[in-house]
Chains A and B, each alone.
Chain A
Amino acid sequence: NAGVTQTPKFQVLKTGQSMTLQCAQDMNHEYMSWYRQDPGMGLRLIHYSVGAGITDQGEVPNGYNVSRSTTEDFPLRLLSAAPSQTSVYFCASSEQETQYFGPGTRLLVL
């Protein structure tokens, strides 16, 4: 099992550009989620999904879109990047209580 994979590992964007952060898992987990990690702020939940076709907002959803067309994939879209979205993004999936995290995507918005 590859576990939870994320691409790209690092990305630089200009303000106003769009991009999609990819997340995939091969463990057949129903629950998936996206977090952002900023210094001194811990991890904050952006969006989550309890299964294919179902998504919900977390603590900081503004500026981000998600969709869940398959169990395996949960992409995070930034429609118009802003410097405030400079962060490290983590995707996670879970079976029962335990959540497994991907290696992260470091995003810099200039």
Chain B
Amino acid sequence: GNSVTQMEGPVTLSEEAFLTINCTYTATGYPSLFWYVQYPGEGLQLLLKATKADDKGSNKGFEATYRKETTSFHLEKGSVQVSDSAVYFCALRISGNTPLVFGKGTRLSVIA
């Protein structure tokens, strides 16, 4: 079946530190890959996506590259801010008519 595994949290970083949140996937087809972010008390927002191998998604300083050879989609940011504190979810989807499959989420706390 299809599944997503992401690193356990919580992750605590100081402001301006480098962030990596690991995400690997198992899929029967060729999925699109996503990172969603959930700020405290809010719903999920799409952060970035990649729809095919070697694509790089980017938004708000965050990046992730679709690596088919390692079945990974790791999230990175060069310099985190306090405002980046949130829960980050990695997800995959085989097609527009199939359910989104989520990882369990990684809570990030950034301290000043």
Q: Which of B34, B45, B93, B104 contacts A41 (CB 8 A)?
A: B104
Distance in Å: Cβ of B51 to nearest Cβ of chain A: 6
Instruction: Report, as a range, how many residues of chain A touch the other chain.
Output: 20 to 34
Residue-by-residue, is B32-47 near A (CB-CB < 8 Å gives 1, otherwise 0)? Answer: 1010100000111110
- Interface residue? A45 (CB, 8 A): yes
Number of interface residues of B (CB under 8 A): 21
- Interface residue? A103 (CB, 8 A): yes
Alpha-carbon distance between A92 and B43 when the two chains are bound, in angstroms: 10
Contacts of B104 in A (CB 8 A): 40-42
**B97/A100 in contact, CB under 8 A:** no
Alpha-carbon distance between A62 and B51 when the two chains are bound, in angstroms: 33
Q: Which of A30, A41, A90 contacts B44 (CB 8 A)?
A: A90
**B43/A99 in contact, CB under 8 A:** no
- Interface residue? B89 (CB, 8 A): yes
Alpha-carbon distance between A45 and B101 when the two chains are bound, in angstroms: 8
Q: Which of B97, B100, B105 contacts A50 (CB 8 A)?
A: B97
Q: Which residues of A contact B (CB under 8 A)?
A: 30-31, 33, 40-43, 45, 48, 50, 58, 90, 92, 94-104
Give 20 CB contacts A-B under 8 Å: A31-B97, A33-B99, A40-B104, A42-B103, A43-B89, A43-B105, A45-B99, A45-B100, A58-B99, A92-B100, A94-B100, A97-B32, A97-B95, A97-B96, A98-B34, A100-B46, A101-B44, A102-B43, A103-B42, A104-B43
Q: Which residues of B contact A (CB under 8 A)?
A: 32, 34, 36, 42-46, 49, 51, 89, 93, 95-97, 99-100, 102-105
